[in-house]
Amino acid sequence: MATNTWAIDPSHSEIQFKVKHLVITTVTGHFEEFSGAVEAEEGFENASISFEANTASINTKSEQRDGHLKSADFFDVEQFPTLSFKSTSFVKDGSDFELKGDLTIKGVTLPVTLDVDFEGVATDPWGNVKAGFEVTGKINRKDFGLTWNAITEAGSALVSEEVKLVANIQLVKQA
């Protein structure tokens, strides 16, 4: 069976994360600069997936918070300008998929498992074949060396250890 190459369409994709703040609200952020590629046969099962994001492109709608996230307390963008993901398996689970791979953040590489909802394939008005996916999962930020925190007067953590990952990805089939 023929293998197709797909690239992430950054203008129709989002890479987000969600973290509890003060244990009472969720702060959402995203990376503005990212790229990725998929090598897959028809139906995408057993696809090979790679992804990279520019850590300095982090955006949480707060310049002060973004500056702190870029510092050595968190992503240390001077020393670690990218985070990356490389799949180890992409297995069909009903109509959707389970994605396993190695996530590298701040020089630490660990295995992660993500859920992938396959949204379908469509051709746009210009003849480009597109495929849509929603990827979700959770990681513990401390496992990747993002250990900074503070304790509030009430004794709770300022920032949760658990980070929810949400990526809405539109791929473009390459010629």
Q: Per-residue pLDDT tens, the chain, 175 aa: give them.
A: 689 999 999 999 999 999 887 667 788 999 999 999 999 998 899 999 999 999 999 999 999 989 999 999 899 999 999 999 999 999 998 889 999 999 999 999 999 999 999 999 999 999 999 999 999 999 998 999 887 665 555 555 567 788 999 999 999 999 8
Residues 6+ apart with CB under 8 A from 156: 22, 23
Q: What pLDDT is recorded for position 153?
A: 56
Rounded to a whole number of angstroms, the CA Rg of the chain reads: 17
pTM: 0.90
Contact call for residues 161 and 143 (beta carbons, < 8 A): no
Top-tier CATH class for 4-173: mainly beta
Please state the domain extents for the chain. 4-173
Strand segments, DSSP code E, in 32-158 are: 34-40, 48-54, 58-59, 82-93, 96-105, 108-123, 129-140
